[in-house]
Chain A
């Protein structure tokens, strides 16, 4: 079967660092995405990993280990506006069957 696991909820303090983990078991792998979704809004793309290692993009970094089926999203210097749900998604399939398998999301609350 296909499965993506993320913690349901996390809390952190403004200015701190938080790491959101994602583990996956999918029948194929063609990249892993992280999206941010504020309540009532559409998801927006944050990062993409297809090779092992760390991808850094300003305050956000994402790490991938394909052998372990594991990724994390690291958010530094947390701001109140970072309170949102963070969705992990794995791209699998090929040709006309290419699609994203989504985790349920991690709801992050940033407290002052």
Chain B
């Protein structure tokens, strides 16, 4: 079955530690995205990548880093510089090719990782 996986579902870390969240997709999508969701704040874009070995900062990139060495994988590192890292992190992917009528290049989301920093 094709889809996006994120692991783990729940993650606990001590303050000051870096932590890496994994995101893997087997949908053959070129584009991948990382969002952060806090209660009442909607989805905020952290980083995105339209192609392997290239990525752009989103609206709240400070304190985060990413890599895109493989098409299938887009890991996110939450560094100790991120002041309020406790949040629900969502990874998504989408196709970027010209879409036929039946496809809209919509973003497909992984199940999310809930990170709590103690």
Contacts and interface: CB of A to CB of B under 8 A. Distances in A.
Contacts of A31: 104
Contacts of B117: none
A41 B111 contact: yes
**Consensus secondary structure, chain B interface:** strand
Interface residues on B, range: 20 to 34
A98 B50 contact: yes
B96 interface: yes
Nearest to A2: B59
A104 B42 contact: yes
A99 B93 CA distance: 11
Given A96-B54, A98-B31, A98-B50, A45 B40 contact: no
B42 A43 contact: no
Task: Please indicate which of the listed interface residues B56, B88, B104 has the most CB atoms of chain A within 10 Å of its own CB.
Answer: B104
Contacts of B112: 41-42
Contacts of A98: 31, 50, 96
A71 to B, nearest CB: 14
Interface string A30-47: 010100000011111100
A48 B104 contact: yes
Residue of B41, B42, B104, B111 most packed against chain A (CB within 10 A): B42
Given A42-B90, A48-B104, A104 B41 contact: yes
Interface string B39-57: 0111111001011001010
Contact of A42 (B48, B104, B111): B111
A99 B109 contact: no
A95 B48 CA distance: 12
B106 interface: yes
A70 interface: no
B34 to A, nearest CB: 11
Interface in A49-63: 50
Interface of A: 31, 33, 40-45, 48, 50, 87, 89, 91, 95-100, 102-105
